[in-house]
């Protein structure tokens, strides 16, 4: 077990960490480095053990999916809490997109995290449910159950989970019209993110506006 302990870094890992410190790579640069490295689980563990944001982003791209056990994932999720919310969200979202959704066993595990004690794993559950809807690969059949959970828990959810739960509600409202009025009403009653300021050309998180804008975009594209 290596939780909380920096590993002795190989020459390769040391070079990557040094390069990142000197270059401050952007997300595209990190993805290019991962593509060149390919899967390398031991190197990924070394990079992760540094506790640094950019090396950890690279690590989540080169972990070996076959070695991502539930215990190992719990460890990663616990250590993501060491980052500020922005970094934590970025690492978690990359982990979802590049690892957890790529194999059936990992996806099946992901689907069990709705009530996990880890805010990171809960967030990943809700983000995955939202992703299923916006990607449109298959019509999910669990929207009734998700809506019950959202209506019961959204107001009091951990902030790191709450945004993603809210986002999932928005995606249900956009892609499943039979729930739209119900979700808009919920958004109006809770008022979550109503006062949030958003940058130009960004969609607000306040559910009534989020759904209105996104539905209008799709209707315009279809005409």
128-164: per-residue pLDDT in tens?
A: 999 999 988 777 899 999 999 999 999 999 999 999 9
Return the HEC string of the chain: CCCCCCCCCCHHHHHHHHHHHHHCCCHHHHHHHHHHHCCCHHHHHHHHHCCCHHHHHHHHHHCCHHHCCHHHHHHHHHHHCCCCHHHHHHHHHHHHHHHHCCCHHHHHHHCCCCCCCCHHHHHHHHHHHHHHHHHCCCCCCCHHHHHHHHHHHHHHCCHHHHHHHHHHHHHHHHHCHHHHHHHHHHHHHHCCCCCCCCCCCCCCCCHHHHHHHHHHHHHHHHC
pLDDT of residue 223 exceeding 90, the answer is no
pLDDT of residue 5: 58
C-alpha span between 6 and 27 (Å, rounded): 24
Q: Are 66 and 41 in contact (CB under 8 A)?
A: no
pLDDT of residue 6: 67
Report the Cα 200 to chain-centroid distance in Å. Answer: 23
Report the Cα 127 to chain-centroid distance in Å. Answer: 6
pLDDT tier at 1, thresholds 50, 70, 90: very low
Model confidence over 53-98: pLDDT tens digits? 999 999 999 999 999 999 999 999 999 999 999 999 999 999 999 9
Rounded to 5 degrees, φ, ψ at 5 are -125, 130
pLDDT tier at 39, thresholds 50, 70, 90: very high
Residues 6 or more apart whose Cβ sits within 8 Å of residue 4:
79
pLDDT of residue 2 exceeding 60, the answer is no
Residues 6 or more apart whose Cβ sits within 8 Å of residue 214:
170, 174, 203
Residues 6 or more apart whose Cβ sits within 8 Å of residue 17:
9, 47, 50, 52, 55
């Amino acid at each position: 077990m290596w939780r909380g302990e920096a590993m002795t870094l190989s020459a390769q890992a040391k070079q990557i960490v040094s390069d990142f410190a000197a270059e401050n790579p952007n997300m595209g640069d990190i993805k290019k480095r991962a593509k060149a490295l390919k899967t390398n689980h031991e190197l990924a563990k070394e990079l992760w053990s540094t506790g640094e944001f950019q090396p950890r982003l690279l690590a989540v791209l080169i972990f070996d999916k076959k070695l991502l056990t539930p215990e190992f994932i719990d460890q990663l999720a616990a250590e993501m809490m060491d980052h500020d919310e922005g970094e934590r969200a970025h690492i978690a979202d990359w982990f979802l997109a590049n690892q957890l959704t790529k194999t059936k066993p990992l996806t099946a595990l992901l689907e069990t995290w709705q009530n996990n004690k880890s805010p990171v794993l809960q967030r990943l559950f809700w983000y995955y449910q939202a992703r299923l809807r916006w990607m449109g690969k298959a019509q999910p059949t669990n929207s009734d159950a998700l809506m019950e959970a959202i209506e019961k828990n959204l107001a009091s959810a951990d902030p790191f989970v709450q945004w993603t739960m809210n986002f999932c509600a928005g995606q249900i409202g956009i892609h499943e019209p039979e729930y739209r009025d119900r979700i808009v009403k919920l958004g109006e009653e809770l008022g979550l993110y109503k006062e949030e300021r958003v940058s130009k050309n960004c969609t607000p998180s306040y559910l009534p506006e989020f759904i209105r804008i996104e539905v209008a975009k799709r209707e315009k594209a279809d005409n």
